Amino acid sequence: MGRGWNLGSGSAKAGEPQAAGVGRDTEEQDLRMEACEWSPEAERSGVRREALSGGLYREQQEGLWGSVEAGARMEVRAGTEGGDRDMEGRGNAEGALETTGRLVRGSEGSCGADARCDRPRPPGAAALMLLLPATMFHLLLVVRSGPARLLGPPPYLPGLQVLWSPRMLLLWLTWLGLQAALYLLPARKVAEGQELKDKSRLLYPINGFQALMLTALLVGLAVLAGLPLGALPEMLLPLAFAATFTTFIFSLFLYLKALVAPASALAPGGNSGNPIYDFFLGRELNPRVWSFDFKYFCELRPGLIGWVLINLAMLMQEAELRGSPSLAMWLVNGFQLLYVGDALWHEEAVLTTMDITHDGFGFMLAFGDLAWVPFTYSLQAQFLLHHPQPLGLPVASVICLINAVGYYIFRGANSQKNTFRKNPSDPRVADLETIPTATGRQLLVSGWWGMVRHPNYLGDLIMALAWSLPCGVSHLLPYFYLLYFTALLVHREARDEQQCLQKYGLAWHEYCRRVPYRILPYIY
């Protein structure tokens, strides 16, 4: 999905959200089997794992032994094989951690087959299917009003005659068709996805940046030919309604398609048997028609490219109204175009995110990708069109510096992680300190990933702040994205922590001891 969307990531999508700056893949694992398996890589790494009865294991790493059972306490002891000495659990350098949780029997935990306690239950899923579109339309209405109060009532409630427009539905379907056609063009690279349950790997075209460039070319030619792109801001309400309407129809298609899909094609979640819940979360992991992958297509292309197109339309209408775009509008357009361009340039990285490897494709991701991202992430540009803000060069320079720092952290952390995953011997990462794990992988504990556990999230949030600052500080509304994105990344970070704890066991505890801060150094 568009970065930072998944209610269960960013970036976000939120962008390339991962649990740690580690050599970590996110393909779905059978935790019960992993608890009992062993590999030469793990033995060479100095970690020992001993299978016990009932699917449990004991794991030894640097003098620590841990016995783990789902839903039970994890006892961490120090000592030798001849005689162990209990240690009181401490979240500091003096002692090992003692914790509770589902660490091995992922299929038997209190959360069900996939141990996903963080998901909404059926009533919550039904409420979110109404609340999310309502929130989107509330934002679109209040940003045009004089007070522009985030928590205030909308200036009016539009009727169906305002929202429903066959012309806007046709325009929206044309947009989706254009992006689908660009998806099908020959790609500069075809990448393999993560290994599936049946041991196969799907192929994905890496041509998202190419789609962005071709879209820019086509839009530029259309504007030169007389396309009134500056009129798009007046069409946002019916266009958003068309996007929401098609999302419900599309999600119904995905749900019905999943009913006849083989069991191996289903996602770990979204298969509760409750139609509303499964419609919301999505039953099928990688719904496809021939080689066209619906989830991968929607994840970055129509929504992200649509977002920057709406921003551009705001800039053009401001130029028509005021003679030239404001400096604040230029900054918002530039910052967010850089972000979208970065996401599409590094499109291959999305193949290891939980959105692709774990989550089903249902209403939650479809609405987020196709409607929420373009119509709410463009809120700052919409605000500046209706509420112009003066911005001097000194303040603009400071805001540019803030965005540059955020992007430097975000891109540096993600590049370091991806380089290490591909080739740990690469000179750029070969000297980084690591922690061995029982899976044979290494956890980075220096560089960006030794500063905080999620430095890419930190960079994302700093950039989100920079996008809002050109709108001034007199209104809360343009900071909605920052507030929403902070809550979403904190929630996603909790998901990441849970999954890494399940996967890496004691090694993850050691990593958390060495890197105590999750996102913001010395604060959180």
Q: 244 in a domain, yes or no?
A: yes
Higher pLDDT among residues 101 and 400, named by residue: 400
Q: What is the pLDDT of residues 36-50, one digit of tens each?
A: 333 444 444 444 555
**SS3 for 129-155, per residue?**
HHHHHHHHHHHHHHCCCCCCCCCCCCC
Cross-strand bridge partners of residue 99 = 74
- Residue 119 confidence class, pLDDT cut points 50, 70, 90: low
- Which of 104-108, 204-208, 336-340, 450-454 is the least confident region? 104-108
Domain count, the chain: 1
Taking the CB of residue 51, how many other CB atoms lie within 10 A of it?
Answer: 13
pLDDT at 142: 94
Q: What is the pLDDT of residues 382-399, one digit of tens each?
A: 999 999 999 999 999 999
Q: What is the pLDDT of residues 214-250, one digit of tens each?
A: 999 999 999 999 999 999 999 999 999 999 999 999 9
Q: What angle do CA 34, 36, 40 make, to 5 degrees?
A: 80
pLDDT at 518: 93
Q: 91 in a domain, yes or no?
A: no
Percent over 90 (pLDDT), the chain: 55
pLDDT at 209: 96
CA nearest to 36, candidates 69, 64, 63, 58: 58
**Helix H or strand E encompassing 170:** helix 166-183
Average pLDDT over residues 433-450: 88
Residues 6+ apart with CB under 8 A from 33: none
Residue 199 has what DSSP assignment? S
Range of the domain at 369: 121-514
Residue 178 has what DSSP assignment? H
**Helix H or strand E encompassing 204:** strand 203-205
Q: Please state, rounded to an integer, the average pLDDT across all residues of the chain.
A: 80
CA nearest to 182, candidates 285, 17, 367, 306: 306
Q: 476 in a domain, yes or no?
A: yes
No. of helices (H) and no. of strands (E), the chain: 18, 12
For residues 339 and 3, give the distance between their C-alpha atoms in angstroms, rounded to a whole number. 10
For residues 165 and 174, give the distance between their C-alpha atoms in angstroms, rounded to a whole number. 14
| Per-residue b or e along 241-260, where b marks 16 or more CB atoms closer than 10 Å to that residue's CB | bbbbbbbeebbeebbebbee
Q: 251 in a domain, yes or no?
A: yes
pLDDT at 256: 95
Average pLDDT over residues 424-447: 87
Higher pLDDT among residues 56 and 164, named by residue: 164
Higher pLDDT among residues 290 and 100, named by residue: 290
Average pLDDT over residues 3-24: 42
The dihedral through the CA atoms of 148, 150, 154, 160 has a sign that is: positive
Flag whether pLDDT at 277 surpasses 50. yes
Q: 112 in a domain, yes or no?
A: no
Q: 433 in a domain, yes or no?
A: yes
Average pLDDT over residues 2-12: 47
Q: 148 in a domain, yes or no?
A: yes
Flag whether pLDDT at 113 surpasses 70. no
Q: 360 in a domain, yes or no?
A: yes
For residues 254 and 122, give the distance between their C-alpha atoms in angstroms, rounded to a whole number. 18
For residues 148 and 138, give the distance between their C-alpha atoms in angstroms, rounded to a whole number. 11
Flag whether pLDDT at 22 surpasses 80. no
Higher pLDDT among residues 73 and 45, named by residue: 45
CA–CA distances in Å: residue 89 to residues 100, 456, 509: 11, 30, 11
Flag whether pLDDT at 108 surpasses 80. no
Higher pLDDT among residues 99 and 186, named by residue: 186
Question: Are residues 454 and 519 in contact, defined by beta-carbon separation less than 8 angstroms?
Answer: yes
pLDDT at 6: 56
Flag whether pLDDT at 521 surpasses 80. yes
pLDDT at 470: 97
pLDDT at 4: 54
